[in-house]
Structure 1
Amino acid sequence: MEEETDTEEEKLLKRQRRERKELQAKIQGMKNAVPKNDKKRRKQLTEDVARLEAEMDERHQQEVEHLRLEISKQVEVESLANGIGKLECEDGEKTAQHSRPTKAQKRRDKKAALEKEREERIAEAEIENLSGVRHLENQKLGHVLAGRGLQIKQIPSDGHCMYRAVEDQLKERGSMLTLAQLRSQTAQYMQGHVDDFLPFLITPSTGDVYTPEEFEKYCDDIVNTPAWGGQLELRALSHILQTPIEVVQADSSPIVVGEEYSSKPVILVYMRHAYGLGEHYNSVEELKDRTTEIG
């Protein structure tokens, strides 16, 4: 049970960490159930694990974005209320110069100030912790990419990051495909190859495979919303572009989708801690400071 003093951010972090542990336990059980010498089932297991992790990453990202939006709205409301309160206070001072706050008001003000200070300390500690994680992740990725003569190229965190990173890579090759076109073609390809994608879309609350109607909405969201892209969308894009897509990560070997294609791969960087609570994709570019390159 969460403590009453936990902030919404803390509750979200705790729950997401708990869900990741539960998923890892589930994955370990799945691995134990498949014989190591059964190559076909082990390959399917690898795909299932990747799908489950991608789905959790996507859901957690959506939860984070929703929380950020709610916090932003709350800040706006509080700022407006504070502004109105200040104006009312100034008017009151003009009409009642000799009025003084009551003892009850003083107690409320002191309690509010202490609560605000506590929340600020919690937020600062969380930011410091996340910044440390981000720093370590950036160091690892920088080391890996420098060994290949590459460095991270920052992509905005707006829900379109995966598609923007692919778009950026394609521009370097002279392609004119836009973000909107990449999203549209991804949805069209998935709709044209339902059997390749539908079995991997699971409703988290029930564990059931998406219905045809849910799948259509999923594809519609790809086109018409900033829905976060994951491994399924990368698979579709690799077929559309007939190009391998390599995803570089800090704590594991790169993932390559579309290995059947022989062209130069599109390279993306997957970052779990780029923006505190959420995952993120970046692009890459040639290393500018060659002195940091690892021979």
Structure 2
Amino acid sequence: MEEDILGSPEELLAKQHRREKKDLQATIQSMKNTVPKNDKKRRKHLTEDICRLEAELNLKQEEEISQLKATQVVEEAVKVEEVVNGVESLGLDGDQEKADEKLPRPTKAQKRRDKKAAQEKERESRIAEAEVDNLLGARHQEGLKLAQKLSERQLQIKEIASDGHCLYRAIEDQLARRALPGLTMSLKGLRSCTAEHMRGHTDDFIPFLTHPNTGDMYSAEDFEKYCNEVDHTAAWGGQLELRALTEVLKLPIEVIQADALDIKIGEEYDSPPITLVYMRHAYGLGEHYNSVERLKEPATEEDS
């Protein structure tokens, strides 16, 4: 078969992607050779251009992988449907007994396995379609805009786990990067300090909390429950928790966004800010916080 000679679609796509990455590295090396190392201004613009090119290529390749997966799921579903239609046509011919003789009667266990396999195929199809839509839509655009904003400041995203603790994990990462005495705090410590500060300054926080269904203000009991969730669960943190944290740490916090002005909290504190990235469309799960790190200049064959 032609596929056996040329390779599977996955192998062909992987080969294409390797070739594209190699070509890009050659282009990057050529770009580097045209800019003197002592020309800091041009080197800065060069680094920004390189990051943009790499981000665009990565997003393009991710999109192609997702499209291939979605296509394969659809093709598999078509094959299953053709088999089912063939079986049904045997019954419609009025020769059901012969059809039954040709097709072994499935056991209950086999039926359960078939049902589970069909459900898994459907789930994979939904995931693949959603991923393609996401890459072509809001997530794709948000990623490009953030990469551009961060590269202008010689920064890049430091990925943080999306487990409900992302705000606190991002701040934990930022504090660890500073390595200043007394400022390193664990995730648990950050949550505990946030909750304790909010309990001790109820009047500063409770006016901003309302029940989503009724719009009613929080009672003292509601507020205590809210603080307990901050302290002891994976409850997602937002702007109220950021305000509490900046007051606990005595440090300003800035939040970089793709489609809005950066948020700055705690500007009364005269220190370099903790920098976070806020993403509205991360991982298809909605809102998410990441940390940042210094921009890494892409490695080339000459550097290795």
Give the shorter-chain TM-score range: 0.5 to 0.7
Runs of 4+ in 1 over 4 A off after TM superposition: 106-120
- Pick from 273, 279, 282: which aligns with 2:290? 282
Q: Equivalent residue for 1:123? A: 127
Unaligned 5+ segments in structure 1 are 1-97
3-state DSSP class of the match of 1:172?
helix
3-state DSSP class of the match of 1:281?
strand
1:271 maps onto 2:275 in alignment: no
TM-score, normalised to structure 2's length? 0.57
3-state DSSP class of the match of 1:272?
strand
Q: Equivalent residue for 2:105? A: 101
Give the letter aligned to residue 128 of structure 2: E
Q: Equivalent residue for 1:212? A: 220
- Pick from 129, 145, 157: which aligns with 2:162? 157
Give the letter aligned to residue 145 of structure 1: L
1:244 maps onto 2:249 in alignment: no
Alignment length (residue pairs): 193
How far is the alpha carbon of 1:117 from its aligned partner?
5.5
How far is the alpha carbon of 1:137 from its aligned partner?
1.4
Render the CA deviation track for 1:187-236: whole Å, top value 9, x for unaligned.
11100110110011111111101111110011011111111110000000
3-state DSSP class of the match of 1:202?
coil
Distance in 2 between residues matched to 1:109 and 1:239, nearest whole Å:
56
Equivalent residues of 1:153, 1:285 under 8 A apart: yes
Distance change (3 Å), C-alpha of 1:112 and 1:207: same
Render the CA deviation track for 1:123-149: whole Å, top value 9, x for unaligned.
322121113332221111110011001
Distance in 2 between residues matched to 1:100 and 1:235, nearest whole Å:
67
Distance change (3 Å), C-alpha of 1:119 and 1:189: closer
Distance in 2 between residues matched to 1:190 and 1:158, nearest whole Å:
23
Q: Equivalent residue for 1:171? A: 176
- What is the root-mean-square deviation of aligned Cα atoms in Å? 3.0
Distance in 1 between residues matched to 2:163 and 2:119, nearest whole Å:
32
Distance change (3 Å), C-alpha of 1:115 and 1:150: closer
**Structure 1 residues 36-115: aligned runs within 5 Å:** 100-101=104-105
How far is the alpha carbon of 1:120 from its aligned partner?
4.3
How far is the alpha carbon of 1:257 from its aligned partner?
1.0
Distance in 2 between residues matched to 1:155 and 1:108, nearest whole Å:
38
Unaligned 5+ segments in structure 2 are 1-101, 300-304
Give the letter aligned to residue 234 of structure 1: L
How far is the alpha carbon of 1:262 from its aligned partner?
1.7
Distance in 2 between residues matched to 1:120 and 1:187, nearest whole Å:
40
Q: Equivalent residue for 2:34? A: none
Q: Equivalent residue for 1:62? A: none
Equivalent residues of 1:166, 1:283 under 8 A apart: yes
How far is the alpha carbon of 1:100 from its aligned partner?
3.2
3-state DSSP class of the match of 2:178?
coil
Distance in 2 between residues matched to 1:276 and 1:149, nearest whole Å:
27
- Pick from 217, 231, 252: which aligns with 1:223? 231
TM-score, normalised to structure 1's length? 0.59
